[in-house]
Structure 1
Amino acid sequence: MSPLLKIRAERDQMSAIERRIADFILDNAHLLRDYSSQQLADALQISQSSVVKFSQKLGFKGYPDLKYGIGESIAHHRAQESTAPRTAADPFAASAEALWRRKQEAESETRLINPPAQIRAVAAALTAATQVFVTGLGEDAPQAQALALRLALLDIRASCPGDAFVVSAALSGAARNDVLLVLCEHGRQPALAQLGRELRARGGKLVSVTRHSANPLRSQADLALLVSAHDERAHVEPLLYRAALQHLLDVLYLELCETRRDALARLQANAERLRRLLES
């Protein structure tokens, strides 16, 4: 596991000072080589010993080893992006190959921070629910709709009302074991947080799917799934996030298919029914 991924994975279990160090490193990883432990401590207005202890807690001998490991990780990513051959026949081949590798890395990191027990817990909550409400705003909406359809094909009573006001109205009939599954990249949509509070007040469960960062939606969720997708380029990072998010949802879907009784038979029957509907 790369040092940066290790920091992201363990951030939520860190103390307040450790989180400050972690956030600074994650936001300034490419500049870290210019910082000594004392300079980093001064920038954060903490003691140098706090920086050293932070490094050792992550399994490094000290801050220099942590800094070296982060530098090696960044250099490895950049080397991979620069080694893909460019051909005269297809000048975009290298860019496409580099993007594919970065998507694979994002999917791998996302898999590491979502242990199988957490995937199974979410699948169990969906299976036990009388109703599942799936929602997402903006770019999260299409994947929320697709997930709701897949759940419905498995005979899980799922819907994707879409608009937050419609979801709120639908939740008025929610039962104690119902689930609201919210896709929200940054977890900071006040309307979605309010929907979560409404369902939890009725005894239901909130499942959040957000970036692997501290955010209000994740903090109030009963179960949280996390997406790790990071890139310095603003136009690339959203592409990595969508790919990693889709892979995470696909893994959840596979868990449901392979553990629910008669799931595949139900899926086949429902898919056939939809096929006849489309062809009529």
Structure 2
Amino acid sequence: MSPLVKIRSERDQMSAVERRIADFILENAQLLRDYSSQQLANALGISQSSVVKFTQKLGFKGYPDLKYSVGEAIARADNGDAAVVSRHVADDAAAQADSLWRRKSEAEEATRLINPPETLRVALDALAGAGKVFVIGVGEDDIYARGFALKLSMLGMATVQSFDITRMTASISAAGARDVLLVFSEHGNHPALCKVGRFFREQGGRLLTVTRHTSNPLRALANIALLVSAHDDRPYIQSLLYQSALQQLLDGIFIQLCEGDEQRHAQLVANLERMQLLLEP
């Protein structure tokens, strides 16, 4: 596993000092080879021992081991880019596609790491045991809310989906303790969605959120929070990484819901056959 992916995936569990070290390494990975542990400590205004403890906590023998590992990861990435360019001198699109595929793979791997099995199990149990699953997303998030709500419906699960916050507020007014509100919000800071989530919890339901791997109001409010990792200096690439990693996360949950219960699986097969008959001339 790339040391940079490992640092990103564990950042949320770090102390304030450790997060400062992590952020410096992530933002200055190319320059890390020029820093000794003491120079890094001086740059951050912390003790050298804090840097050493940080590297050991990540599973490295010491700072030189971490620095070497980061440099090796960067070199592999650079060599990969060079190889692609040399093979496709006249084909920039192929090089870009290869680079994007690698970045998506890294985002999906990091997303897997920040959603441990126990968290996914709690989310799966909440969805599987829900009387009704209310699903909402606003803007681009609505695309994934609609798609996932359809998948749940195909499994025979009672699902209520809407992008209209007013309508959703009315729908959840009769929610019970076994019901789940699934909120898709990339940045997790939509004020109205936070109000809906708070209202749903007051009704006794369980709030399940899907947001970026950042500190945000919606995540803090959730009973269960699923996270998506997507890091890149280019905003347009970052958006693509988020969408790819999110879809992979949702597909994994759908498969487990489908294969984890024979009745849901049978209902999916029956619904697929019914839809096929409707489409036939």
* TM-score, normalisation: structure 2: 0.88
Q: Which residue matches 1:56? A: 56
- Pairwise CA RMSD: 2.3
Once residues 34 and 192 of structure 1 are traced to their aligned partners in structure 2, the CA distance between those partners, rounded to angstroms, is 46
Q: Which residue matches 2:170? A: 169
Would you say 1:22 and 2:18 are equivalent positions?
A: no
Q: Secondary structure at the match of 1:187?
A: coil
Once residues 62 and 183 of structure 1 are traced to their aligned partners in structure 2, the CA distance between those partners, rounded to angstroms, is 40
Q: 1:233 to 1:179 in 2, by over 3 A?
A: same
Once residues 195 and 26 of structure 2 are traced to their aligned partners in structure 1, the CA distance between those partners, rounded to angstroms, is 30
Q: Which moves more between the two structures, 231-240 or 254-263?
A: 231-240
Q: 1:165 to 1:2 in 2, by over 3 A?
A: same
Q: Which moves more between the two structures, 30-39 or 264-273?
A: 30-39
Q: Which residue matches 2:105? A: 104
Q: Secondary structure at the match of 1:230?
A: coil
Query: Where does 1:194-273 land on structure 2 (aligned, <5 Å)?
Result: 194-273=195-274
**CA offset digits 1:201-221 (Å, max 9, x no partner):** 222111122222333322332
* 1:177–1:205 contact (8 Å) kept in structure 2: yes
Once residues 260 and 83 of structure 1 are traced to their aligned partners in structure 2, the CA distance between those partners, rounded to angstroms, is 46
**CA offset digits 1:48-99 (Å, max 9, x no partner):** 32222212211223323223322222232232233222164x5422222222
Q: Which moves more between the two structures, 211-220 or 252-261?
A: 211-220
Structure 1 residue 133, shift from structure 2 partner: 1.3
Q: 1:204 to 1:26 in 2, by over 3 A?
A: farther
Structure 1 residue 178, shift from structure 2 partner: 1.0
Q: Which residue matches 2:40? A: 40
Where structure 1 has 5 or more consecutive residues not aligned to the other structure, the ranges are none
Q: Which moves more between the two structures, 147-156 or 40-49?
A: 40-49
Q: Secondary structure at the match of 1:92?
A: helix
Structure 1 residue 275, shift from structure 2 partner: 4.1
Q: Which residue matches 1:92? A: 93
Once residues 195 and 81 of structure 1 are traced to their aligned partners in structure 2, the CA distance between those partners, rounded to angstroms, is 46
**CA offset digits 1:8-61 (Å, max 9, x no partner):** 222232222222322333333334334443343334332232222212211223
Structure 1 residue 257, shift from structure 2 partner: 0.3
Q: 1:192 to 1:69 in 2, by over 3 A?
A: farther
* 1:212–1:228 contact (8 Å) kept in structure 2: yes
Q: Secondary structure at the match of 1:244?
A: helix
* 1:179–1:205 contact (8 Å) kept in structure 2: yes
* Sequence identity percentage: 57
Structure 1 residue 246, shift from structure 2 partner: 0.4
**CA offset digits 1:178-234 (Å, max 9, x no partner):** 111122222222322222222122221111222223333223322222222322333
Structure 1 residue 279, shift from structure 2 partner: 5.7
**CA offset digits 1:124-143 (Å, max 9, x no partner):** 11111111111222222101
* 2:209–2:219 contact (8 Å) kept in structure 1: yes
Residue identity in the other structure for 2:55: S
Q: Secondary structure at the match of 1:32?
A: helix
Q: 1:15 to 1:92 in 2, by over 3 A?
A: closer
Q: Secondary structure at the match of 1:188?
A: coil
Once residues 233 and 186 of structure 1 are traced to their aligned partners in structure 2, the CA distance between those partners, rounded to angstroms, is 17
Q: Which moves more between the two structures, 145-154 or 114-123?
A: 114-123
Q: Which residue matches 2:9? A: 9
Where structure 2 has 5 or more consecutive residues not aligned to the other structure, the ranges are none
Q: Secondary structure at the match of 1:236?
A: helix
Once residues 260 and 78 of structure 2 are traced to their aligned partners in structure 1, the CA distance between those partners, rounded to angstroms, is 40
Residue identity in the other structure for 1:155: G
Once residues 211 and 48 of structure 2 are traced to their aligned partners in structure 1, the CA distance between those partners, rounded to angstroms, is 33
Q: Secondary structure at the match of 2:233?
A: coil
Structure 1 residue 121, shift from structure 2 partner: 2.1
Q: 1:36 to 1:220 in 2, by over 3 A?
A: farther
Q: Secondary structure at the match of 2:163?
A: coil
Q: Secondary structure at the match of 2:262?
A: coil
Q: Which residue matches 2:83? A: 83
Residue identity in the other structure for 1:59: G
Once residues 190 and 41 of structure 1 are traced to their aligned partners in structure 2, the CA distance between those partners, rounded to angstroms, is 39
Structure 1 residue 151, shift from structure 2 partner: 0.3
